[in-house]
Amino acid sequence: QVQLRESGGGLVHAGGSLTLSCTFAGVPPMDGVIAWFRQAPGKEREGVSCIARKDGDTYDYLDSVKGRFTISRERLRNLVYLQMNSLKPEDTAVYYCATTRKNTCSGLSSEYPFWGQGTQVTVSS
């Protein structure tokens, strides 16, 4: 049974930083990819970044966060991070991690069958 859990969300002032963590279980070692998505109120879920578990290749999908958000993993542990710097009020959203057994990253939520419950990030102005 594949399970994912996000943590690290919270309330932060604009310009601040947060690090989100995604722990996961039930996925074969070095198999598949882990992605971060976010969904703001009234908006569609959008892909943020993705990392391949085996080789660590990363992919970014949002121009608005490039240079501010970084995805990384702990290779020997079931942990993926999303380091978020210089946060802006428009980054406010529920952030989700998701996985698929496919070894190809995608920014499309439909490509991921397994999801965490999400963690709220609120950035005040």
Query: pLDDT tens for residues 2-13?
Result: 999 999 999 999
Q: Is 66 exposed, middle or buried (0-12, 13-18, 19+ CB in 10 A)?
A: exposed
pLDDT of residue 101: 87
Percentage of residues in the chain having pLDDT higher than 70: 99
pLDDT digits (tens, 9 = 90+) for 12-44: 999 999 999 999 998 877 788 999 999 999 999
User: 63 by DSSP, 3-state: which?
Assistant: helix
